[in-house]
Amino acid sequence: MTNPTTADYWSAEQYRGRHAFVYEASRDLVTDWLSPQPDERILDLGCGTGELTAQIAQAAGHVHGIDASAQMIAGAQAKHVRDNLSFEVQDAHRLPYRSGFGAVFSNAALHWMAPLGGVFSGVARSLIPGGRLALEMGGAGNVLVVRESVEQALSEAGLPALKHPWMFPSPGELATLLEAAGFTVRRLHLFERPSVLVGADGFRAWLEGFGSGWLAPLTPKQRSAVIRRAEELARPELWNGTDWVADYVRLRALALRGV
Ligand code: BEZ
């Protein structure tokens, strides 16, 4: 779920405590899109705290989870122990595997990994011919209200326009990237998933976690003023009177490596 530049801003426990919805909402990506088989070796790319990796391991031969964050990998190793499960700190831009996996899985990680061309080429090399990639990531329009409220808060404060670190492709853009890496796209689905951010401070906690790399150039005082103002700006659209509901948009794909 992270890349090397944002990898170690948060702990595994913090992630599980505040952001569990990210993996809980995607359990059907494992059952309905990946469909792990008992004899398969599967790579989980950007495995985070390993919750979905462990779910895959209940049905697969072996699962190897990788993430750029040493904290996430340590948290995954401490919680999920099985004979057919392994974890490793690894940079998705330099995958060392050659035809070692029947399938690659990735949830809520690829939007941290732009540019994706090299990542998908490495994934293709990691798969056996005909092997499949099942992925979910943020899609076009993801967290647009959140992004715009931060951009406006920065502008109002006379601060530089910071570019967010994520990539949220349209279905067409994702298909083009996958095909350029030698995949045939079998399924593609863009859909809205409004996501509750737990607690009255849910918006702030989300930005402090997921936005920490984005807002890192600011001083602590500037950062907290920007987050406070962004919260005010986003409130009419994202606060429903009881909860913060983030405007998540997800993009799922199932693609096969060419033979
Ligand atoms: C997401 O999972 O949609 C997401 C993660 C980090 C930043 C923005 C969106």
Render 190-211 in DSSP notation, one character per residue.
EEEEEEEESSTTHHHHHHHHHT
Specify the DSSP element, H or E, that contains 17: helix 12-19
Sheet holding 41-45, edge to edge: 85-89, 62-67, 41-45, 101-107, 127-138, 244-257, 183-197
Residue 83 Cα, ligand 1 centroid: separation in angstroms? Answer: 31
pLDDT for position 10: 59
**Any ligand 1 atom below 6 A from CB of 108:** yes
Q: What's the whole-model pTM score? A: 0.93
Ligand 1 center–CA 67 separation, angstroms: 16
- Compute the distance between CA of residue 229 and CA of residue 31 in angstroms, rounded to an integer: 41
Which residue's alpha carbon is at the smallest distance from atom 3 of ligand 1? 138
- Give 163's DSSP letter: P
> For the segment 72-84, what is each residue's pLDDT rounded down to a tens digit?
999 999 999 999 9
Side chain identity at residue 222, one-letter code: Q
Q: Does any ligand 1 atom lie closer than 6 A to the CB of residue 206?
A: no
**Ligand 1: which of 3, 9, 19, 166 to mutate, judged by most atoms within 8 Å of the beta carbon?**
166
Q: How far is it, in rounded angstroms, from Cα 191 to Cα 37? A: 27
Bridge pairing between strands 127-138 and 101-107: parallel
Residue 119: predicted pLDDT: 98
Q: 244 C-alpha to center of ligand 1: Å?
A: 15
pLDDT for 20? 82
Q: Is residue 203 within 6 Å of ligand 1 at its C-beta?
A: no
Pick out the chain residues at pLDDT < 50: 1-7
Closest-CA residue, ligand 1 atom 6, reads 210
Answer yes or no: is the C-beta of 110 below 6 A from any ligand 1 atom.
no
* Integer Cα distance of 165 and 210 in angstroms: 10
What Å distances lie between residue 85 and 54, 56, 177, CA to CA?
Answer: 7, 9, 30
Full set of structural domains in the chain with CATH: 12-142+166-197+248-257 (3.40.50.150)
pLDDT, tens digit (0-9, with 9 covering 90-100), for 177-217: 999 999 999 999 999 999 999 889 999 999 998 999 999 99
